[in-house]
Amino acid sequence: MLKSKNIELVPFESKYIKKFVEFRNSEDSRNFLMPGIPYPVTEGSVSEWLNKRANPSESGEFAIIYNETKEYIGNISYGNVDWKNRHCEIAIMIGEEKYRNRGLGSEAIMTLLDFIFNELNLHRVELKVYDFNERAIRCYEKCGFKKEGLLREAVYKHGKYINECMMSIIKEEFCKHDFQGNN
């Protein structure tokens, strides 16, 4: 369990599946799902994924729990760990709408980054985000991520091609970053 002031990150378990399916299948979430993420999902498909998920040394999936109410509000994960070059990718979803725009996503990201950089001893963390997802981009920048480039028309979604923005942070930047979150 990884804990901060307002949230804790706990290993994703079967008890979260029903709510996860609700989050993942919502119209709002679907608009921001990255390529390769199945839609729609069912409780059965998520259970199957949970049983087959990658080796824990290569990925980690956490439920985000709001400390005040102990409510499950979303997911955050790291994956595609490259141990030779010491980097990975992250993804986050605050599925419970009433908890968005409160700084909890950035707090979850900073908590996970602390684990990735100081426990796993990785050097770099990267992510992709649709260039129209301004709320997410602001959150990532708040956490110290830098834009690296644009993958032009990389994804076909909603009847048109969409750009993806590549962002990353390295350990040195994380250690120097003055996070102005809810901590």
- Hey, where are the domains in the chain? 2-176
Average pLDDT over residues 5-11: 96
DSSP assignment of 139-162 equals HHHHTT-EEEEEEEEEEEETTEEE
Task: Label the pairing between strands 60-66 and 7-11.
Answer: antiparallel
Res 36: pLDDT: 55
Share of the chain above pLDDT 90, in %: 67
Report the share of the chain in percent with pLDDT over 70: 89
- Checking if the pLDDT of 157 tops 50, the result is yes
Regarding the domain delimited by 2-176, which CATH topology (the fold level of the hierarchy) does it fall under? Answer: Aminopeptidase (3.40.630)
For range 32-51, the mean pLDDT:
70
What confidence category does residue 136 fall into, taking pLDDT thresholds of 50, 70 and 90?
A: very high
pLDDT band for 56, please (50, 70, 90 cuts): low
Separation CA 53–CA 38 (nearest Å) = 14
pTM of the model: 0.89
pLDDT given for residue 146 in this prediction: 97
Closest CA to 153 of 131, 171, 170: 131
